[in-house]
Amino acid sequence: DFQMTQSPSSLSASVGDRVTVTCRASQGISNYLAWYQQKPGKGPRLLIYGASTLQSGVPSRFSGSGSGTDFTLTISSLQPEDVAIYYCQKYNSAPWTFGQGTKVEIK
Amino acid sequence: EVQLLESGGGLEQPGWSLRLSCAASGFTFSAYAMSWVRQAPGKGLEWVSTISDSGGSTYYADSVRGRFTISRDDSKSTLYLQMNSLRAEDTALYFCAKGRSGSTASCYNYWGQGTLVTVSS
């Protein structure tokens, strides 16, 4: 089975901190990697696609990097409105697997 | 404005069937691949099924293959998920999602609010 493994599963940081979430694919996926943000009671929101391209309307404090099997989502300066669960997803081919999610909280 | 509105969820007994619908508006529905993604209570996102823009190609997660069928009616801008032989583990919030491009190798730039399916006797 194809696996997308995120770490950490949760983190707590202060407002203004730099936050990093990693995602590892069990096989190479080139740059077919997306990051989503999900807040309670809402559908997910696309943040980044193509591993590093910011979706229109997403604040520039969000960035993505990586290729192949290892990817990173970075929030350069954590804001209170960034409290959410973040998911990575591979989308080069079926199955379009999601990571298990990373819960981001404010300390 | 792109809108995706799911409907058809509810409480159903194990072994029975449900059909979910997703009414789309604000974009050329026939030009995009569409997908269903589910989220069990308190759990993460699970991809369920994808259909190509033409409807000629369909894909399923192993957990639903042979029980669920995805389809689309471009004349009504509506996506469907026929769910047969329901199991307790199918209990989840089901989201409809629009591909960012016409290719099935696409992430999802718009999501609905979801429709809740509960399978219980």
- Residues B76 and A79: their CA atoms lie apart, in Å, by 41
Residue A67: per-residue pLDDT: 98
The β-bridge relationship of strands B3-7 and B18-25 is: antiparallel
pLDDT in tens, B21-62: 999 999 999 999 999 999 999 999 999 999 999 999 999 999
Tell me which of A97 and B105 has the higher pLDDT: A97
Q: What is the count of residue pairs from A and B with beta carbons less than 8 Å apart?
A: 59
Whether A91 sits inside 8 A of B112 (CB atoms) is no
Residues pairing with B81 in the sheet: B20, B70
Sequence-distant (6+) residues with CB within 8 A of B93 are B38, B39, B41, B114, B115, B116, B117
Burial (CB count within 10 angstroms: exposed 0-12, middle 13-18, buried 19+), residue A96: buried
Among the partner-chain residues A89, A96, A98, the one whose CB lies closest to the CB of B50 is: A96
Residue A1: per-residue pLDDT: 83
Whether A94 sits inside 8 A of B35 (CB atoms) is no
Residue B8: per-residue pLDDT: 98
> Taking 90 as the threshold, does the pLDDT of residue B100 lie above it?
yes
- Residues B85 and A52: their CA atoms lie apart, in Å, by 40
Residues in A touching B111 (Cβ below 8 Å): 43-45
What are the tokens at B41?
């209570």
Whether B105 sits inside 8 A of A99 (CB atoms) is no
Q: What confidence category does residue B104 fall into, taking pLDDT thresholds of 50, 70 and 90? A: confident
Whether B46 sits inside 8 A of A98 (CB atoms) is yes
Half-sphere exposure of A101 (CA within 13 A, CB side): 16
Q: Write down the mean pLDDT value for chain B.
A: 97
Residue B83: per-residue pLDDT: 98
Burial (CB count within 10 angstroms: exposed 0-12, middle 13-18, buried 19+), residue A81: exposed
Residues in B touching A92 (Cβ below 8 Å): 105
Residues in B touching A34 (Cβ below 8 Å): 107-108
CA A67 vs CA A28, A38, A79, B40, B68: distances in Å: 8, 23, 27, 30, 33
Residue A79: per-residue pLDDT: 98
Residue B30: per-residue pLDDT: 96
Residue A95: per-residue pLDDT: 95
- Residues A87 and B11: their CA atoms lie apart, in Å, by 28
Ranges of chain A with pLDDT below 50? none
Among the partner-chain residues B45, B106, B112, the one whose CB lies closest to the CB of A98 is: B45
Whether B45 sits inside 8 A of A44 (CB atoms) is yes
- Residues A64 and A49: their CA atoms lie apart, in Å, by 8
